[in-house]
């Protein structure tokens, strides 16, 4: 179906109708009803889901199942202050941020400025790192804060919702056309970072719990995605975090690295653990220095 939508002229015409926010909202409303429950066993079988990490409940709708909660202890959050906690389950790729860098994610080419629609903010992060976490439908779709600190108000960038399937990446820019939301975090251990959520086709709702500015804690749930594959992006200042070597090696080989919410992605320079990494990791997946706080455009 995705191949038809993105590779055939008739399919692309149909896609323009499918990607209208009104349709996405309509599908979202249906997935909130009891009538959508019949989709749950099909989804479990189709995505080969292992539900052992999750609370077993009588889910009242498909969306209630999709945003199901973990059982206690399933994703312990690294509490070491010098360690950057992973914000979500997903497949991670890391890119350097340079003033003229055009980054490719699943075949999509864009700049940091394209994503943020704020040239001054993009320039302020030049020389840093961009961490892209791709969530598939089978991943846990709640996400958390990677450290404690204070946040700015949320900024929403409206767009046409598109799928994260590779066919879409081949057909044209995805992320520049997707709805997204971001905030600047002033963290206690890693300086300022930008935290962005990107929606995908039929995911009209990025559900963040705290839209205004205020205090947050490491590991605190920040929000959730409702149905569909979606993306989290962290923009880190230069020298803020030294990522684990296996993550850096995977990205250098154009491989996505599987990560889980709460694990340590890296450390503040000078805080490297003696073991030299985090336990419990699988291998990468092949795909086609803390500084002082600087003035931020956002009220914190």
Mean pLDDT of 244-252: 95
Catalytic residue among 78, 89, 147, 192: 89
Q: What is the pLDDT of residue 174?
A: 46
Tell me, what's the pLDDT at 109?
64
109-138 residue pLDDT tens: 668 888 888 889 998 999 999 999 989 888
User: Based on the number of CB atoms within 10 Å of its own CB, is 288 exposed (0-12), middle (13-18) or buried (19 or more)?
Assistant: exposed
- pLDDT grade, residue 26 (50/70/90)? confident
Highest mean pLDDT among 9-13, 22-26, 74-78, 274-278: 74-78
Q: Is the pLDDT of residue 61 over 70?
A: yes
The residue from 24, 61, 230, 251 that is catalytic is 230
* pLDDT band at residue 286 under the 50/70/90 scheme: very low
Instruction: Decide: 195 and 185 in contact? Cβ < 8 Å.
Output: yes
Structure tokens at 42: 């099909």
- For residue 34, what are the CA distances in angstroms to 59, 152, 250, 262? 9, 37, 42, 32
Q: What is the pLDDT of residue 153?
A: 96
- Residue 168: the pLDDT is 53
pLDDT-derived band of residue 232, with 50, 70 and 90 as boundaries?
A: very high
Distance (Å, rounded) from C-alpha 174 to C-alpha 176? 6
Q: Tell me what percent of the residues of the chain surpass a pLDDT of 90.
A: 50
Q: How far is CA 247 from CA 16, 72, 111, in A?
A: 37, 27, 22
79, 84, 89, 92: CA torsion to nearest 10: -160
Confidence of residue 272 (pLDDT cuts 50, 70, 90): confident
251 noted as active-site residue: no
Res. 13: pLDDT tops 80: no
| 9-37: average pLDDT | 71
The answer to whether 257 and 282 are in contact (CB under 8 A) is: no
Question: Which of 64-68, 149-153, 267-271, 274-278 is modeled with the greatest confidence?
Answer: 149-153
Tell me the average pLDDT across 193-212: 82
SS3 33: coil
Is 89 annotated in the active site? yes
pLDDT beyond 70 at 100 = yes
Give the per-residue pLDDT at 296.
38
- pLDDT(52) > 60: yes
Is the pLDDT reported for residue 142 higher than 90? yes
Q: Is the pLDDT of residue 230 over 90?
A: no
155 vs 28 pLDDT, higher one: 155
For range 259-287, the mean pLDDT? 72
Q: What is the reported pLDDT for 58?
A: 92
What mean pLDDT value characterizes the chain?
Answer: 80
3-state secondary structure (DSSP) of residue 141: coil
pLDDT, position 227? 76
- pLDDT for residue 282: 52
Which two tokens mark 298? 């956002």
Separation of first and last alpha carbons in the chain = 45
């Amino acid at each position: 179906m995705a191949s038809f939508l993105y590779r055939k002229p008739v399919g692309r015409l149909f896609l323009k109708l499918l990607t209208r926010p009104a349709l996405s909202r309509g599908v979202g409303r249906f997935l909130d009803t009891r009538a959508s429950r019949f989709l749950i066993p099909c989804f479990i079988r189709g995505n080969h889901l292992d539900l052992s990490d999750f609370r077993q409940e009588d889910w009242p709708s498909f969306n209630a199942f999709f945003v199901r909660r973990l059982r206690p202890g399933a994703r312990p959050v690294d509490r070491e202050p010098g360690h950057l906690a992973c914000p979500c389950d997903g497949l991670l790729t890391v890119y350097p941020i340079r003033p003229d860098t055009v980054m490719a994610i699943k075949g999509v080419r864009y700049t940091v400025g394209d994503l943020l629609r704020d040239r001054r903010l993009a320039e302020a992060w030049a020389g840093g790192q961009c961490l892209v976490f791709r969530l598939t439908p089978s991943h846990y779709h709640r996400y958390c804060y990677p450290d404690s600190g204070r946040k700015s108000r949320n900024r929403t960038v409206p767009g046409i919702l598109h799928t994260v399937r590779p066919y879409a990446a081949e057909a044209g820019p995805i992320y520049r056309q997707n709805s997204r939301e971001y905030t600047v975090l002033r963290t206690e251990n890693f300086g300022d970072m930008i935290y962005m959520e990107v929606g995908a086709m039929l995911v009209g709702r990025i559900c963040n719990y705290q839209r205004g500015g205020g205090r947050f804690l490491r590991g605190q749930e920040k929000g959730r995605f409702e149905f569909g594959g979606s993306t989290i992006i962290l923009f880190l200042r230069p020298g803020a975090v030294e990522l684990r070597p296996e993550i850096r090696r995977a990205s250098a080989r154009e491989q996505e690295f599987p990560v889980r919410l709460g694990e340590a992605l890296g450390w503040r320079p000078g805080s490297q653990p003696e073991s030299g990494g985090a336990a419990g990791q699988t291998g990468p997946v092949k795909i086609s220095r803390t500084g002082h706080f600087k003035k931020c455009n956002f009220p914190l």
